[in-house]
Every structure is written in C-alpha cells, then in structure tokens.
Structure 1
Amino acid sequence: MAAAAAMFLLLNGCGVIAETDARNSSSAAVAPSIEASSKAPVAVPTPGKGPACPSLRCASITVTGDMLVHTQLWQQARADAAAAGQPGYTFVPLLEGQRRYVSASDLAICHQETPVGNPEGPFSAYPSFNVPPQIVAAAKEIGYQACTTASNHTIDRGTEGVLRTLDALDAAGLKHTGSYRTEAASKEILLLKTPAATIAIIEGTYGHNGQIPEYPWLVDELDSAAMIAKAARARALGADIVLGVMHAGDEYASEPNAQQQDVAHALVDSGQFTMVYGHHTHSVLPIENYKGTWIVYGLGNGITELSPWYVVNNEGLLVRAQFSQNSAGAWTVSDLAWAPSVMVRDPYRWCSVASDAPQGVCASPAADAQTHQRTQSVVESMGAAAAGAHELLITKEK
C-alpha cells in the first residue's frame, strides 16, 4: 500500500496476527501484549451498562440482524432526507427505535449484509445488491461501534464492492470484520474494548450464492476449525470475551439447520467462545443454552422492506448479553435478554414490539401481539426461558 507503514506481530510462527496501516487502521484494534493480558485484573469495580452487575466487572453487548436495504428503504431514506431539508439519503429515522437499546449497552454490533455503492448511486436490490452507503453512517449515528460483513451477498459487486464497503465503514468510524482488503488483513483479530473487557469477534458465512471470491481470503467462510484457531489466537492476544458469528441457515425457517447446530456446538465445545450468534435466514430462530454457553441461532432482519409472502421476514430480534467475570477470572453470560421487533411502513421504521412498547403501537395492537407471540414461541422453543433468557424491557431499566 502506498505510503503505508505496517506492523506485524508473530505468534509461535503461525503468521500475521495484527497489521495496521494508513488505509486499514480502523479494521482491527491494536492488540495488547500477551504479557500484559496475563496480569490479574485490577480490583476496580467496572459494572458497565445494562442490568445490575453481579460481580466486580461486567460488559454488555447488543447484537442485531441483517441490515438488508431494499429499494423501498432507500426511497424512504431519500424522503426522510428531503423532509429534513437535507440532500441525498438518511436512514437515521428508520433506525431511530434501536438507539435506546444500543445506548444501554457497552458495545453494539450490527451486520452489514450487502455491499454499498457510491453516495449518488446507481443502486440495486435483490439479487445483486448495491445500496446507499448512507446506511453505514446511520448505524454509527445510532450508536453501533462495529459491524460484521461476511454474508452470502458480500461479493455481489465483486472485490470492488467489498473495498467500497470497507471504505464506507472506515469513513463512518465503524470497526469491522468478515471481509478484507488484503490477505494480511484477513489474518487480523478484531479486538474491541469496553471499560471492563476486551472482546473479539470472529465471523463466517456459509457461502456466496454460487459466486466465487476473487481471492480466497476476501471473505471469512463458515469453517469451525478455522474459527476455533482464530479464537485461540484472540485469547492469546488478550481477548476476555470471544463472540462467534454465523451467517447461515435456511431462509424463513423457524429452527436451525444441521450446519448451524454442528458449527455452533463445535465452537462451544472448543472452549474458546463465550457466546455464539447468527443471522441470514430473514427469520427469528431459537436461543439455546448448550453446555452453559448461549447460542442465538438467528436474529432475523435488523431492517428490511415488508414481504407480502413471508411475515417472518418482517420481524427481528435484538439481543443484549451481559458478561461478568467470576472470582477465577473467567467471563460468562450473566444475563441474556431479547427484544422482538417488526418493520412498519408509511413511513418505514424499525419498531420494538416488546411488552413495554417503548415506541408505542407499531403496526396495530393485534398485529403487534401476534408478532410478539410468534417471536417468543420460536425464541423459547429450545429451552431458552428455562435456562434464564428473558424479554428485554428497556423502559423498566434505570
């Protein structure tokens, strides 16, 4: 890279772990030294945001599903910009309902499902996406700090689309992982810090809709062995919490498929992951507590236009996990909470249908109740409630 200064950190001969340069500096945090990470935690209370911390140190993380920008959504964004007397597009009003949840956590992670185009277009939707980059700026404005980028649509616009999307994320100040500019960057570990903990994010996608990436390292694949190896390196670099992220599943399903369960269980069995979650199916999937570790199989859509054929497409799940450190220094989930959501139109907005109705009525009282019931029945179908997962009532928190 022109005029770029690079730093390489080698660990046991396994290759490049971290690289920073003038162009790619925001795609990965600079890792702490292994020597520093092995020191005992400082006994200073750091409860973090969210529910009352049951231990000395806590960190809360909010995750949401696919940011799937179809034509009607960018038409809405253009109308919202015009109404505000602004040029171009703004997706902030569409996402605004998420702000209250995001602000009640130490870290919020979105999923940028599709490549972005140039600010003025041309844009395209399914099957080959190229969406307004203003969606990235809006995610940052709402409070997200990072986005995953590996999906079956990542290479819809080839390598150029991947680079354009990473440039937009960098310009907005959002950290990212899942797709990369260089082979060296693909070996980096994304480490994000809260006041109490260092969090690593490791993602993989099941495929690319039959397309083949120009370079094998361009997008992270859903490979449990590779993800486990990367998680082990993240631990060695000082990660307290490691999140495994799967972009996989059967579209519009209400249960995980064999691949999702096999990969998720393998990640947990490795002992390297603190929590696993996923997206892709455009439907909410169950939450499972497997051997004491939470697996959120599918968050549904973070945003999307309304489907007249698949009602589950219009629904989503926001999940907040509070992690706490025990006396032995290990981090586990001490509270797992979920909030059901639905997309509404005229105007298009993300809207929470949680029992406390933080945004008021979304579609209608009856429709909201149906969405809530449908989401809850799926979320709890693998024993989540009995294991302690509960609804997130944001208005009840201080």
Structure 2
Amino acid sequence: MRSHSASTTASDNAESNVAVSRKTTPKPVTTHHGNSPDCPDQDCIALFVNGDLLFHEGLWEHFQNNPSATDGTAFNFDPLFANMKPYIQRSDISVCEFETPIAPRGGPYSAYPIFNIPPEVADAAAHVGYNACTHGTNHSWDQGSAGIARLWDTLAADGIAQTGSYKTEEDSKKPLVINSPTGGGKLGLITGTVSLNGMTADHDWQVDRLREAGDPNHESDIQKAVAKAKAARQQGADVVAIAMHSVQEYLTKADSWQISEAHELADTGAFDVIYGAGCHCAQPIEKYHNTWIVYGLGNAVTVTSYIPGNEVNNQGVSARIQFAGKRGKPGTWRVNRIDWVPTANMQQGQYRWCPISGDHPDGYCWSQQTDTQQEQRINTIIYSLGADSNVVHEWRLSDEQQQSPQKQPQPQQQTQQKK
C-alpha cells in the first residue's frame, strides 16, 4: 500500500509540476522593430516626413513627355523623386505634404499664384513609396471644390492615404489612422493650415484649419484637431502626429504663429509630435515640455529661386521620427530618435531630390563647397533651440549601413495597388 501510495503521490506531483510549468511558462513576446536601425522597446514606428511638393512651370517642364496626354503619360516625375527611395525604405510610414491642387489629366495647368499642377506628381509620389499625404495648405482652395476632389480622387486611385482637404463633410470628420506596414502599431495623422491666402472655402469643413490666436475660429480649430486626435486613439492609434502649414516664408526661425500654435497644441497633450511646412525653408527642432516640434521642413522638391534672400527655398529637410513603445498599450510610447537629412532641389544641374550629406552615389548636389556651406547652415538652424543631439541626429545612410549591415529594409506596402 505504501508503495502504491508513494507511487501515486510521485505521479500526482509530477503531473502537478507539469501543470504548473505549463501555466507559468510565458509566451514569447513578438516584437516589431520596423525599418529603423534600432528600436529600444517591443514595437517601433518610424515616420518619414519632408516639406512641400511645390511645383512651378519651371520645374514641371523638365519632366514633360506630351503635356496634353490624358492617360497618365503627360509627365514622368519618377527621376525627380528617385534619390528619396532608400530613405523611405528605411522608414515604416512615409508622408508627403501636397502643397497645391492638381489639374485634370492633360491640363490646363497653372502655377503661382493660383496653382493647378500636373496630376502625374501624385503618381510619382506613389511610385517612390509614400504611404500618405497631407494637403491642408494655404493653396488648398486655389481650384475650389473641384481641385480638392481631383487631388482626393487621384491620390486614392494611387493607393495613397490622405487628410487635410475633403470632398464631403463626412470625410472631414474621420481621423486618418495608418497601420504601420512593418507591424509596429498605428499612427494617427492630423493637419491644419493657418491661411487660405485670403480666400474662403464654400464650407469651413472643406479644409482643416489652424487659424491664429485672435481669429474667432482659433479655439474651435484647436478643439477640432484635439477631437480628431482623440478619435484616432479610439480607433487604435498608438501615436498621433499633427502637421502645421504656415504662411510666413523664408525664415530661419519659427514665426510667432508657429511657436504659439505648436505650444498650444502640445499643451493639450493630444499629440506625440508636431511638424511643419509652408515656410519654404529649414527651421529648428525643439523639445517643448515633453513634445518634440519640427518647425519647418522646407521644400521636398521645388524650382530654383534666384531671388536674393530666397535661396533657402532651394533646400529642405527630410526627417525620420521614430516612436517606441508597446503596440496597443497607451502610455508606453515616446519619440526616441529623430534622424534628419538636409536636402537640395538639384543634383549636378538637374532637378532631383538630393541629400546634401553626400550619401548619393553621383557626387555632390551643387558642389563640394556649396554643399558643405548649406549642410553647416542647416545644422546650425536645426539645433538653435537646444535640441538634444542624443535624440536628434544627422542622418547618413552610409553610417547606418555600417552599423547594421545585416538588416535589410522591410518592404513598403501601399493601401491599394495603382490602377
């Protein structure tokens, strides 16, 4: 009996230990570190942003095939964007700033002051890998409701998510929430412009606004942006970014509206990062309380300005903002790094997006001397408000490749295949 009892007890204990072991063995944690070279937490989202897509006739005429063609072949802007691709591939979500409305395919086209640019720009944005575009700008109403509808429909057909100006009031109330293609989490994206260049939309909902203090609509604009941010989080957004479109041009310092508006937005606690365009120049990066603000990204692509004092129009900044945290767990997320690269609008006499840092294979953007001068100038501007260089780094792909030679960029996924 003792033998049977002892045997039974040993067997029971063994089964009990197995059961306990089964209950206490933790499941392996699935991580989603994305395309950035490091991630200090379980999940990361690397957001790539840059300045305005600003097209004048002097730019688009260099890429025309048959301007009157209506089948999407009137222009080919792919070469203009091509150098951007490796930077987008080392990010997770890439967002453009679409400064202006677009014309019908085949034209007619127009430039400053009332823009109506070739729609093939949107096609090229899709080809290079942008996941989304914002288009709440001072030029959003240049072509009225028809221009907004054309841009919306063309970006949608190209598989690009969007926010900023709207065909319907229902669309205007929906926050844009983007799943990271690399699995790190969800990004909410909000935008707003301070100005419509003195014009007034037929309905206030047609363009997202962030009017200045003193304007009777200022407080309601802030409240709408915050409400959209909250709605985005209710729909699962782990982080929320807001893009501000300013109107004071060619300033190396943030203007009074940019500072007051960004600080007011940051004080709401609704946004994880704030970034801006519209000034057509590179501006500082600031950490205000616990919120990072990238005031001005300049132009991503644009025609060369030869007007004295406006040379800053010919440069920009592209930034990769990395958020780290745990997917689906509010309160765990923060900005842990911002990588920035100064850019030129030309490469060796041709219109091309060109990283001034020298990572491209075809030599300097302008010349060694000019590139060095502009890189140093933009570097000084970026850190002029005390941005921590342990978080804010100049982005060099060559250094990144040496640090993590085994890591290959994960493929970008579009929300819809181009038709």
Counterpart contact for 1:80–1:93, Cα < 8 Å: no
Q: In structure 1, how many angstroms separate the alpha carbons of the residues matched to 2:343 and 2:63? A: 20
**What RMSD in Å do the two structures reach over aligned CA positions?**
2.0
1:298 match: 296
Q: TM-score, normalised by structure 1?
A: 0.85
Could you say if the C-alpha distance between residues 224 and 328 of structure 1 is closer, same or farther in structure 2, counting changes exceeding 3 Å?
closer
2:380 paired with 1:394: no
Q: In structure 1, how many angstroms separate the alpha carbons of the residues matched to 2:344 and 2:247? A: 20
SS of equivalent to 1:294: strand
Residue identity opposite 2:79 in structure 1: P
Greater Rg by CA: 2
1:324 match: 324
2:167 paired with 1:164: no
1:118 match: 104
2:252 paired with 1:254: yes
2:415 match: none
Matches within 5 A, 1:1-398: 43-78=29-64, 87-194=73-180, 195-222=183-210, 223-309=221-307, 310-325=310-325, 329-344=331-346, 346-354=349-357, 356-357=359-360, 359-386=362-389, 388-398=391-401
Q: Deviations over 1:226-283 (max 9, x none)?
A: 2112212212221101001100152000111121111111222111111000000001
Gaps of 5+ in 2: 1-27, 211-220, 402-419
Q: In structure 1, how many angstroms separate the alpha carbons of the residues matched to 2:358 and 2:230? A: 40
What is the deviation of 1:122? 1.1
Counterpart contact for 2:346–2:353, Cα < 8 Å: yes
Could you say if the C-alpha distance between residues 43 and 131 of structure 1 is closer, same or farther in structure 2, counting changes exceeding 3 Å?
same
What is the deviation of 1:183? 0.7
Q: In structure 2, how many angstroms separate the alpha carbons of the residues matched to 1:186 and 1:329? A: 28
Q: In structure 1, how many angstroms separate the alpha carbons of the residues matched to 2:61 and 2:389? A: 43
SS of equivalent to 1:397: helix
What is the deviation of 1:358? 5.4
What is the deviation of 1:388? 2.5
Residue identity opposite 2:127 in structure 1: E
Could you say if the C-alpha distance between residues 117 and 328 of structure 1 is closer, same or farther in structure 2, counting changes exceeding 3 Å?
closer
Comparing 203-212 with 382-391, greater Cα deviation is found at: 382-391
Counterpart contact for 1:352–1:359, Cα < 8 Å: no
Q: In structure 2, how many angstroms separate the alpha carbons of the residues matched to 1:224 and 1:381? A: 27
Q: Deviations over 1:42-78 (max 9, x none)?
A: 9311111112111111110100100001112211111
Moved over 6 A (4+): none
Q: In structure 2, how many angstroms separate the alpha carbons of the residues matched to 1:229 and 1:249? A: 24
Counterpart contact for 2:195–2:247, Cα < 8 Å: no
Q: Deviations over 1:346-391 (max 9, x none)?
A: 4211111015455521111111111101111111111114462110
SS of equivalent to 1:128: coil
Could you say if the C-alpha distance between residues 288 and 80 of structure 1 is closer, same or farther in structure 2, counting changes exceeding 3 Å?
farther
Q: In structure 2, how many angstroms separate the alpha carbons of the residues matched to 1:205 and 1:136? A: 21
Residue identity opposite 1:321 in structure 2: I
Q: TM-score, normalised by structure 2?
A: 0.81
What percentage of aligned pairs have identical amino acids? Answer: 39
Counterpart contact for 1:283–1:315, Cα < 8 Å: yes
Counterpart contact for 1:284–1:378, Cα < 8 Å: yes
